[in-house]
Amino acid sequence: MMKVSRHLFFPLLLLFFTAASCSEDTPPPPDVRDIEVDLTVLRFDRALAALDTSRIEEEMERLDRTFGSFTEAFFTHLVPVRRGDFSAAEGQNVLRAYLEYPLTRVVDSTVESRFPAVGGGAQVQGLVEDFRQGLRYYRHYLPQAPVPDTLVTFDTHFELAAFLYGDGQIAAGLEFFLGPDFDYALVNPEEPIFSDYLAQSYTPAHFTGKLLRVLLEDRFPPPRSGRLIDYLIYEGKKLYLLEHLLPETPDHVVYEITEEQMDWLRNNETPIYAYLQREDILYTTDVNRINKYTRPAPYTPGMPVESPGGAVNYLGRQIVAAYMAAHPELTMPELMALTDGQEILRGARYKPR
């Protein structure tokens, strides 16, 4: 792949510099105070940490009664106590070893210090209320979409930040929201998920956004195949909708990048578009190239190191915003149902700023 050098990219920046905010075409948020969201919160993380290892069989039965189908998901996929090839005794030994493992103790103690279950649990209550507000907007914009009524918090060895289980319920891994005071790289500096460009979003401010992304991606799965234009429009639709679900959240938090990278995107919309046209890759179907441009990364290939990974997704968002401005009668579900990126680009009458 031919990369654009910094010498070629920055003259475009000087020529087309703009300070437009990506949210300037977003109307004021609707009043959602009357939308009811029933959300039960269960602290599996604290219940597991307090488990009596001398009575594991009885304790497991208690967890099953309290947490329902979540325990089956947790002990099958995250901590494989109930793997099909384990006997009950072997599974109990696995759980005992997991609970006594040094990393488990570090994570448990850190989660407890950040999100205590006693003393009112104000930190968790704040996260839950933010998420509940996000669900109100979710129900407003996607009235036919199911909304979870149970949120389970857990922690593991950094397996998943959030996932759906059972009948559309949601679970959140609190170890992914410890904030900048926790040095994720110390856990394992060779592990890609602890890279700075990912770990900078492991903060409480990103809690609601990460959970809403899980709901959106379940409701509106990514394309199984297609062209780069289809993928960047899909990512753009997600970002556009997330901005509406998180209207009080700063854009860089919604995008899971730094403030400087958000500014870079705003100031480089035209150069990004010019690069895609010059490289003639908008319609490539090469999966590896598509992933390079749309997935999280330290920066976007072919662009300056100041760019965030997935910079082309911002272009997708701008095209989607232009399309919605040209079709104000369209609802969010109708927008999300559109899958032809080229048709959206054509209908947007898009002109980069």
Could you report the per-residue pLDDT of 141-150, keeping only the tens digit for each? Answer: 999 999 999 9
The yes-or-no verdict on residue 6 having pLDDT over 70 is: no
Measured distance CA(163)–CA(29) in Å, rounded = 27
Predicted TM-score (pTM) of this structure: 0.90
pLDDT, tens digit, for every residue of 335-346?
Answer: 999 999 999 999
DSSP state of 41: E
> Where does the pLDDT of residue 10 fall: very low under 50, low under 70, confident under 90, or very high at 90 and above?
very low
Give domain limits for the chain: 6-30+222-348, 40-218
Q: What is the 3-state secondary structure (H, E, C) of 120-181?
A: CCHHHHHHHHHHHHHHHHHHHHCCCCCCCCEEEEECCCCCCCEEEECCCEEEEEHHHHCCCC
pLDDT (0 to 100) of residue 121: 67
What is the arithmetic mean of pLDDT over 320-349?
97
Return all residues near 251 (Cβ < 8 A) that are at least 6 apart: 21, 22, 23, 243, 262
Buried/exposed 9-18: b ≥16 CB within 10 Å, e otherwise: beebbeebee
pLDDT (0 to 100) of residue 85: 84
Burial of 277 (0-12, 13-18, 19+ CB in 10 A): exposed
pLDDT > 70 in the chain, percent:
92
pLDDT (0 to 100) of residue 26: 62
